[in-house]
């Protein structure tokens, strides 16, 4: 943010409200990554998609997100996608986290699992234990369904959107398996 101009897009008005507080120097837009289009001046040197790509649960939606990114990349620009996992690296598991504030506390259990390995989705169940300043506690539950695609499908969908695709892996201290990054470069001259 200090060295680059950034434009942020989210489907959730609540997330945008939070982001505007954290990132007041950035432009914000509400929109769906599968269909959102900025008007004139809406092309960028780089487009980055991180956590939200999780919610593309089928190849059609994934392809639409890639087409949107292609639309917003300048010729020679690049898309960087950082999914949580790919089909080849998915591992079921749990994580526990928490935070204590001055007048409230939270503990979270995250459970990743795949009830049907034959489809292209997996589940993330969250249980939150929330304690307020009076010492009262309550439990909240939330389920998220995410897409789980093999590397070959990521690369194919990027190519079909018009990008020159690449797959990179790297080790991260937070997980026990290599993480994947997908890069798509928009050609300087687009055919068609």
Output the CA angle 62-63-67, nearest 5 degrees: 120
Q: Is the dihedral of CA 103, 96, 124, 63 positive or negative?
A: positive
Q: Is the dihedral of CA 52, 57, 61, 67 positive or negative?
A: positive
Cβ(167)–Cβ(180) below 8 Å: yes
Entry pTM: 0.88
Long-range contacts (CB closer than 8 Å, 24 or more residues apart) made by 39-42: 42/71, 42/72
The pLDDT tens digits of the residues spanning 162-179 come to: 999 999 999 888 777 789
Q: For residue 180, give the 3-state DSSP assignment.
A: strand
What's the topology of domain 93-145? Answer: N-terminal domain of TfIIb (2.20.25)
Task: Give the burial class of 34: count Cβ atoms within 10 A of its Cβ; 0-12 exposed, 13-18 middle, 19 or more buried.
Answer: middle
CATH class given for the domain over 32-86+148-185: alpha beta
pLDDT tens track for 141-155: 999 999 999 999 999
Q: How far apart are CA 5 and CA 44, in angstroms?
A: 10
pLDDT attached to residue 5: 83
49-63 pLDDT tens trace: 998 999 999 999 999
Give the separation between CA 183 and CA 80, rounded to whole angstroms: 5
Give the domain ranges of the chain. 32-86+148-185, 93-145
């Amino acid at each position: 943010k200090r060295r680059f101009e950034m434009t942020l897009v989210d489907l959730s008005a609540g997330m945008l409200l939070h982001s505007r507080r954290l990132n007041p120097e950035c432009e914000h837009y509400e929109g769906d990554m599968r269909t959102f289009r900025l008007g004139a001046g809406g092309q960028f040197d780089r487009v980055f998609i991180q956590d939200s790509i999780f919610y593309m649960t089928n190849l059609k939606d994934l392809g639409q997100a890639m087409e949107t990114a292609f639309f917003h990349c300048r010729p020679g620009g690049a898309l960087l996608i950082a999914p949580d996992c790919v089909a080849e690296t998915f591992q079921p598991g749990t994580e526990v986290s928490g935070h204590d504030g001055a007048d409230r506390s939270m503990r979270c259990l995250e459970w990743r699992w795949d009830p049907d390995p034959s489809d292209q989705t997996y589940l993330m169940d969250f249980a939150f234990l929330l304690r307020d300043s009076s010492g009262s506690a309550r439990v909240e539950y939330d389920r998220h369904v995410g897409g789980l695609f093999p590397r070959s499908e990521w690369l194919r969908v990027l190519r079909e959107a018009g990008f020159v695709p690449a797959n990179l892996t790297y080790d991260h201290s937070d997980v026990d398996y290599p993480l994947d990054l997908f890069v798509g470069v928009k050609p300087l001259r687009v055919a068609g």
